[in-house]
């Protein structure tokens, strides 16, 4: 799993083997079974986590009990509640494994240490967050400008395997509609 992390990091920055060996000491490997929680809302998000294998989702729950999915995190991605992680405040988000997953966790103190000792990580995280920002801005504009059907089509284009790995009602929640609406969209799309 560490090799995979190393590979992903090398896509953005160059670090020496010693530097990576040092980084390794700061991560805690964790195996998380399907339906288990990595973070429960109300708690502080004390880890930022790298997904080595598996699939997770982060979501909020509103007054009516509806789940609203912020993110799906697959192999090679990172998950966490950035705000809670940085400020130590209670998180609004719950993070749950949708498949048995293998994770690498890093705490805020270790993360600070990593940035201090290996400044190249500053760039790595900057690029990571940058790409996330670009994607989130796009998604925001999409929810404001295009129809549910178009958002669904775009999601399938961007993540072709998502419908094999994630139940429909979660996809509905990700694109911002009810399960009933997505079900109807799909049957229309199949016939038309």
Element containing residue 32 per DSSP (H, E): strand 28-32
Query: How many Å apart are CA 57 and CA 37, to the nearest integer?
Result: 10
| Cβ–Cβ under 8 Å, residues 45 and 39 | yes
90 touching its own copies, by CB under 8 A? no
Q: Residue 74 has which token pair?
A: 């697959």
CA-CA-CA-CA torsion for 76, 82, 86, 88, nearest 10 degrees? -110
Q: Which does 179 bind (CB under 5 to 8 A by kind): DNA, its own copies, none?
A: DNA
Taking CB under 7 A as the binding criterion, the range among 1-9, 19-27, 130-138, 144-152 that sits at the site for DNA is 144-152
Site string for DNA, 54-93 (x = CB under 7 A): ----------x-x---------------------------
| Cβ–Cβ under 8 Å, residues 53 and 97 | no
112 touching DNA, by CB under 7 A? no
Query: How many Å apart are CA 155 and CA 152, to the nearest integer?
Result: 5
Query: How many Å apart are CA 110 and CA 47, to the nearest integer?
Result: 10
147 touching its own copies, by CB under 8 A? no
70 touching its own copies, by CB under 8 A? yes
- Count helices and strands (H / E) in the chain: 9, 8
* Residue 108 or 186 having the CB closest to DNA: 186
Residues that bind DNA (CB under 7 A): 64, 66, 147-149, 167-169, 176-187
The binding site for its own copies (CB under 8 A) comprises 60, 62, 66, 68, 70, 82-83, 86, 115, 119, 122-123, 125-126, 129-130, 132-134, 136-137, 139-141, 143-145, 176
């Amino acid at each position: 799993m560490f090799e995979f992390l190393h590979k992903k990091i090398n896509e953005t920055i160059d670090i020496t083997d010693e530097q990576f060996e040092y980084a390794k000491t700061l991560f805690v490997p964790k195996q998380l079974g399907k339906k288990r929680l990595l973070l429960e809302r109300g708690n502080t998000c004390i880890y930022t986590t790298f997904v080595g294998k598996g699939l997770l989702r982060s979501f909020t729950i509103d007054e009516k009990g509806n789940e609203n999915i912020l993110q799906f995190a697959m192999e090679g991605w990172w998950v966490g509640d950035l705000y809670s992680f940085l400020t130590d405040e209670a998180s609004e988000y719950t993070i749950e494994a949708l498949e048995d997953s293998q994770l690498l966790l890093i705490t805020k103190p270790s993360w600070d240490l990593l940035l201090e000792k290996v400044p190249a990580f500053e760039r790595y995280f900057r690029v990571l967050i940058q790409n996330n920002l670009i994607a989130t801005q796009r998604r925001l504009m999409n929810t404001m400008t295009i129809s549910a059907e178009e958002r669904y089509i775009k999601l399938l284009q961007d993540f072709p395997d998502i419908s094999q790995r994630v139940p429909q009602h979660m996809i509905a929640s990700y694109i911002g509609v009810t399960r009933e609406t997505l079900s109807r969209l799909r049957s229309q799309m199949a016939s038309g």
